[in-house]
Structure 1
Amino acid sequence: MSDTGEEWQVARRRKGAARKSKPIQVSSYSSCCQEQLDIGKTVKRIRDTVSELRSEVFCQLWKEQVLVAGSATLSKPPENRDTDGTTDQLSRCPQLECVCYGLGSFSSCVSARFQLAMLLLLLDAGQIPLRDCSVYDPMFSSGERDVLRELGLTVLTENEEGKRLVTKPTLFYLMHCGKALYNNLLWKNWSTKCLSQMIIIGNSFTGMMDRTIEREFKRDYSYVTQAVSVCEEGQLPCPSRLIDIFSDTAVITFPTSSLNKLPQSTWAEPPEPKYQHCPDLEIIQREAKS
């Protein structure tokens, strides 16, 4: 029980706010874990978790909803469903790529490991090549980066802070990430062309608003605030025993028909978010270049 308790404590610390003014340092404990991480054993633990999730009913429902969203984003009509509830045409979307931010330390945190396993299952369901999924978290140790490469994923080397411009239909896997990361992503793609090519698997935008003082939310996260009125959210199911891992997760898309209803002035020269009133920003920002 103590090991499990420690894992959940790591998860809570990982998902908590990171102070903007505090420099990021690698502790001696973290360095020790990097040296001792058994790559093969860690890969096996992840694959065992994938096998555990694969048989779950809620996992099949996740795959179905995500694949339907992928079909809509790629502007392809769904075909007849397979016996497992997915869609035949939807399971072949080579145009779709994936970006995953904020996964956490999956070698020590059970929730992060389950979230990684779910990501691998969704990539398999959509037949998205592993190399077309880019992952990044400033918390990854060197050993964890090696594990991700061993699995076949592409490990990013730069902290993009979510500011990635999409050039093709892209699935963003952002499990329990900070509000600023979502806001940054929306700002960078604040146009009808870019937003309509995005699928987000992450925290419900409406849920974020409900848990934050409205005045402060509109001031600090203006792009999420505006997106609420034009996005479509499909809440993803979560069994009670995994509530801390997959709760409040939705598939979020941006239909062109909804985006086109907004006045053209909505998209004119969107200012970059500064977060001047957020002392406890929920993301780790990249270090300023001297």
Structure 2
Amino acid sequence: MAESGDEWQVARRRKRAAGASKILQAGSAQRSFQEPLDISKTLQRIRDTVSELRCEEFWPQWKEKILVATSSALWSPPKDNISDGRPQLECVCYGLGPFSSSMSARYQLAMLLLLLDAAQISLKNCCVYDPVFTSGEREVLTELGVTVLTENEEGKRLATRPTLFYLMHCGKALYNNLLWKNWSVQCLPRLSVIGNSFSSMRDRATEREFSRDYSYITQAVSVCDEVELSCPSRWIDVFSDTAVITFPPDGLGSLPQCTWAEPPEPQYRHCPDLEIIQRGTELREEVN
């Protein structure tokens, strides 16, 4: 796993969700002028990384915990989501990062591919998006077989069927937006999230500001189930603070009915250092 010191610096920055998107956003224009990506070489590096992760001791533990934690949400869908006796599972990945230049992002992509195989989710049913992707990286993802989204959804995607959301080291606003879009007792149980622990987000923030700016995460903490995914110390920069988050219907029923009435869309007026790249911002960066 020998890599340059520069790549490890990128990995350490991705460990901090608060700064990752801003760093990548600032560098997106510069990356667009880099030499064309060697597609074949990049694909081989990714496949080698998948093979490496598959041999790691923590992978079987992650696999078991994830499949057990998501079994209800992913494998017990409504009857209208079943075709030929099998559920039509989906996966959405946001904020992966520049995997052609960042070792951390590449290992997170490799983990995503392992999870898709373990959960029996078709590659074509996995949608991937990050505004920092170069055209070469989008081509690599297409060659891998996943679906590359063309629009920055800001996490505001409605889960119409059982969906695994892979949001490694993403900003709080992305999680908050996802919860808002699915804020109902019908939709939330369809979600399984692999990403930053909600309780850790809350514990690291000022309670008053966190409740004001990220109200949906604040409410979800008390009703979601979190399963910690621990890893060896040498993988902390890549997979730190990761959990499987699900939303059992029984827990959602404990919230007052008024909780679900016309939930307002998040605005983030008090967040000058928002941790996500908002729609349109990536275009201005490339023009500049």
Distance in 2 between residues matched to 1:227 and 1:245, nearest whole Å: 25
Deviations 1:31-88, CA, capped at 9 Å, x for gaps: 233x421000000000000000001121111111221133211465xxxxxxxxxxxx
Q: 1:181 to 1:93 in 2, by over 3 A?
A: farther
Kept after mapping to 2: 8 A contact 1:94/1:127: no
1:227 aligns with 2:187: no
Q: Cα distance, 1:9 vs. partner?
A: 2.9
Q: 1:26 to 1:205 in 2, by over 3 A?
A: closer
| Alignment equivalent of 1:215, drawn from 208, 212, 230 | 208
Kept after mapping to 1: 8 A contact 2:69/2:227: no
Tell me the TM-score normalized by structure 1: 0.87
Kept after mapping to 2: 8 A contact 1:93/1:126: no
| Alignment equivalent of 2:198, drawn from 180, 187, 205 | 205
1:234 counterpart SS class? strand
Kept after mapping to 1: 8 A contact 2:28/2:132: no
Task: State the superposition RMSD in angstroms.
Answer: 2.3
Give the equivalent residue in structure 2 for 1:37. 37
1:174 aligns with 2:167: yes
Q: Cα distance, 1:6 vs. partner?
A: 1.2
Distance in 1 between residues matched to 2:74 and 2:43, nearest whole Å: 32
Distance in 1 between residues matched to 2:50 and 2:117, nearest whole Å: 11
1:192 counterpart SS class? coil
| Alignment equivalent of 1:120, drawn from 110, 113, 116 | 113
Give the equivalent residue in structure 2 for 1:69. 69
Distance in 1 between residues matched to 2:47 and 2:57, nearest whole Å: 18
Q: Look up the equivalent residue of 1:31 and give its one-letter code.
A: S
Tell me the TM-score normalized by structure 2: 0.88
Give the equivalent residue in structure 2 for 1:251. 244
Q: Cα distance, 1:154 vs. partner?
A: 0.3
What pairs up with 1:1-290 in 2 under 5 angstroms?
A: 4-12=4-12, 15=17, 16=19, 26-27=28-29, 29-33=30-34, 35-74=35-74, 76=76, 94-287=87-280
Q: Aligned residue pairs: how many?
A: 270
Distance in 2 between residues matched to 1:170 and 1:31, nearest whole Å: 32
Deviations 1:73-129, CA, capped at 9 Å, x for gaps: 1465xxxxxxxxxxxxxxx96422100000000000000000000000000111111
Q: 1:117 to 1:188 in 2, by over 3 A?
A: same
Q: Cα distance, 1:18 vs. partner?
A: 5.1
Q: 1:60 to 1:180 in 2, by over 3 A?
A: same
Kept after mapping to 1: 8 A contact 2:74/2:192: no
Distance in 2 between residues matched to 1:11 and 1:223, nearest whole Å: 29
1:202 counterpart SS class? strand
Moved more, 3-12 or 174-183: 3-12
